[in-house]
Structure 1
Amino acid sequence: MNIVLIDDEPAVRDTLGEHLEEEGHRVRTAGGGEAGLFLLEEEPADLVITDLKMPGISGLEVLRRVRERWPATEVVLITGYGTLDDAVEALRHGAYDFLLKPVRLAQL
């Protein structure tokens, strides 16, 4: 599976990215929403995993843009600051899932 992983925390990108690669997936990482969308413009992905709260473009905005431009791409939002309202909004906008940090690797 071709995955784009977007998170402003390098440790999260490194840990999740390495785990997903060990599982046989191709992973491209970005430190923010703009950079992640640029990666998708270069080559669409099967799955986007994005942090909810980031400087610049939020994960919800990434979700909205992915749904518009690449409707077949699934989006999973992750956050350390999630509320039930955030989860409902993400799912209402078409997110595949909403996970709280620290993400257990088995969840992916």
Structure 2
Amino acid sequence: MKRFLIIDDDEGMCWALKKALEHENRDILTATSGSDGLALFDAYQIDLILLDIKMQDTNGLDVLQQIRQKNLEVPVLIMTGYSSLSIALQAIEKGATGYITKPVQIPRLKETIQKIFPEDNITEGV
């Protein structure tokens, strides 16, 4: 079973992404702050992180940096409503696997996840 962690200070976004990505072979955890997200990351084996870049309590790039200090392998997809080449480059330089703009296009997100996990039919049934 794959376990995804969504870190976004918008509870509605967390809920919408959780519903869109739920599947019987997948466990979706959500956190509405960077600190709560890091606590969940420490407590569970996480296979994929969807991380908002701009949150009220912290900068998503700082959270990404802390994740990378603990684990270099877990895929992290940065999400933002503030699309800019500069932010995308900073995220990639800090170890992000990919970059998704908001509003999140669910089919595109699922395609991106399928590329990360080609051995699994991760988008099946959703």
Pick the TM interval, shorter chain. Answer: over 0.9
CA distances 1:40-87 after superposition (whole Å, capped 9, x unpaired): 111130111010000122110111111110112111000111211000
- Relative to structure 1, is the Cα distance of residues 101 and 63 closer, same or farther in structure 2, using a 3 angstrom cutoff? same
**Poorly superposed stretches of 4+, deviation over 3 Å:** none
Deviation at 1:22, TM superposition (A): 3.4
**Structural RMSD (CA):** 1.2
- Relative to structure 1, is the Cα distance of residues 57 and 44 closer, same or farther in structure 2, using a 3 angstrom cutoff? farther
- Establish whether residue 27 from structure 1 lines up as the match of residue 28 from structure 2: yes
Distance in 2 (CA, whole Å) between partners of 1:22 and 1:89 is 32
When normalised by structure 1's length, the TM-score is 0.94
Distance in 2 (CA, whole Å) between partners of 1:24 and 1:102 is 26
Distance in 1 (CA, whole Å) between partners of 2:3 and 2:32 is 17
Gaps of 5+ in 2: 110-126
Distance in 2 (CA, whole Å) between partners of 1:26 and 1:77 is 19
Gaps of 5+ in 1: none
When normalised by structure 2's length, the TM-score is 0.81
Aligned-pair identity (%): 33
Distance in 1 (CA, whole Å) between partners of 2:62 and 2:73 is 17
Deviation at 1:23, TM superposition (A): 7.1
